[in-house]
Amino acid sequence: MVSGMVGKGTALGAALLAPLVALVPAQTVSAAPSTASTTVTRAASATPDLTALREALRSALALGAPGAMARVDDNGTVHKVTEGIGDRGTGRAMSADDRFRVGSVSKSFTSVVLLQLVDEGKLDLDAPVNTYLPGLLPDDRITVRHLLSHRSGLYDYTNDMFAATVPGFEAVRNRVFSNQELLDLSLAKPRTVQPGAAYSYSNTNFVVGGMLIEKLTGRSVATNFKKRIIKPLKLSSTFYVHPRTTIPGRHIKGYLRPDEAGAPLVDSTEQTVSWGQSAGAVISSAKDLNTFFSALNRGKVISEAQLSQMQQWTTVNSTQGYGLGLRRRDLSCGVSVYGHTGTVQGFYTFSFTSADGKRSVTSVANTSNNGSVLNTLPRTLEAVFCGAPVAKSARSTAPAEREDIAPDVVRD
């Protein structure tokens, strides 16, 4: 095993950014997002517990991940902790500086662009989607807000696409879908809930979100991400390259675990991610994601009014809420953190920031279809924001994590 390392330094480029003008299944219920704040105001611990952070990453390796890493940006101080292998072919060690596929963290990017369009008067969150894309959806009651809070009831087509893990992936690895093709896969199935009735996670919602972006701006999702988020925040390692299959520059390689016990891992690094697009195709780095979520939570990306909308929470389970393309996680020490999780074949990502945006962490394991590894990564949040490892008793009662692709398929 490659030995781990810890890096610590002073963050660069900490100047304030100018404001821009312009997996859980459906059984968790909440009739509507809460308009009352459920944010826990307790401050994060004085310092992150780097020993507990390393222990969490080592646990991910023990459970089958080739490598794992985390980067913490703590009010100008940077900590990097790495364990294991970033490239099994060359034996190169995991690096906290490398790029990777962020999966459903992409949903926060899509939501930000749509909320900027609300700020610009081009979009109404409570208007039916069919107002902007006439005849697209079979129910005029489905609003933009329902999409972004996973309350539309649109079936998640990835449940069928990836029910068989490796065969499903290989069938779409190099395929290029249109958004309409993906939506048609969803519409061929019954809706999961009535519009607005309950949280039911579905990648379909953010595919439609991408269609809205392109219709309202006349530009591609890639162009909007670059113009509205990537360039203003100077995210030098963030890309939306769909349908190209490669990750630009130095990157972590991702390894997909087959369904069959003992079968070898599959290098899943290169793919179009056309099955996900605006729901999951962003490439980034830990530094860039920490910058993004910190800026978002500090009101530097969307207006205060839209950030408030983004943070109206629908109940997911006893420790999580979902806003508009944003997750809230309530930790064992009474601290709430804000960001998103991501699953794409070969990569698990957790990227979250504190209420004031001053402390952020992105942790990554380069595997997927491994529920044990997935359920280990929340410990990185506990270590960084609570300053201590979560007790085993708390771990045993915590709701199980679900992957953000095929969220209704239970992975061992």
Q: Tell me, what's the pLDDT at 393?
A: 66
269: tokens are: 């690094």
CA dihedral in degrees (363, 366, 368, 374; nearest 10)?
Answer: -30
Q: Which residues contact 94 (CB under 8 A, 6 or more apart)?
A: 2, 66, 67, 68, 69, 82, 83, 84, 85, 86, 252, 366
Phi and psi (nearest 5°) for 150?
55, 45
Q: Which residues of 234-260 are buried (b: 16+ CB within 10 A; e: fewer)?
A: ebebbbbebeeeebeeebbbbbbbbee
Choose among 325, 285, 277: nearest CA to 101.
285
Cis status, amide bond into 19, omega within 30 of 0:
no
Q: Tell me, what's the pLDDT at 147?
A: 98
Contact call for residues 210 and 273 (beta carbons, < 8 A): no
253: tokens are: 């390689």
Contact call for residues 312 and 320 (beta carbons, < 8 A): no
Q: Tell me, what's the pLDDT at 346?
A: 98
Give strand pairing partners of 307: none
CA distance 318 to 327: 13
52: tokens are: 């507990």
CA distance 359 to 357: 6
* DSSP for 192-238, written as a single string: SS-TTSS----HHHHHHHHHHHHHHHSS-HHHHHIIIIITTTT-TT-
CA distance 111 to 310: 8
Q: Tell me, what's the pLDDT at 398?
A: 83
* CA angle at 308 for the pair 299 and 77, rounded to the nearest 5°: 35
Contact call for residues 341 and 350 (beta carbons, < 8 A): yes
For residue 308, indicate whether it is catalytic. Answer: no
**Residue of 30, 59, 104, 294 marked catalytic:** 104
Q: How many CB atoms lie within 10 A of CB 227?
A: 15
Contact call for residues 343 and 368 (beta carbons, < 8 A): yes
Q: Tell me, what's the pLDDT at 248?
A: 98
CA distance 339 to 125: 20
Contact call for residues 395 and 383 (beta carbons, < 8 A): no
Q: Which residues contact 155 (CB under 8 A, 6 or more apart)?
A: 186, 187, 189, 190, 191, 192, 202, 204
**pLDDT tens, position by position, for the chain (412 residues)?**
333 455 554 433 333 333 333 333 333 333 445 433 444 457 787 899 999 999 999 999 999 999 999 999 999 999 999 999 999 999 999 999 999 999 999 999 999 999 999 999 999 999 999 999 999 999 999 999 999 999 999 999 999 999 999 999 999 999 999 999 999 999 999 999 999 999 999 999 999 999 999 999 999 999 999 999 999 999 999 999 999 999 999 999 999 999 999 999 999 999 999 999 999 999 999 999 999 999 999 999 999 999 999 999 999 999 999 999 999 999 999 999 999 999 999 999 999 999 999 999 999 999 999 999 999 999 999 999 999 777 776 776 789 999 999 999 987 7
Q: Tell me, what's the pLDDT at 67?
A: 99
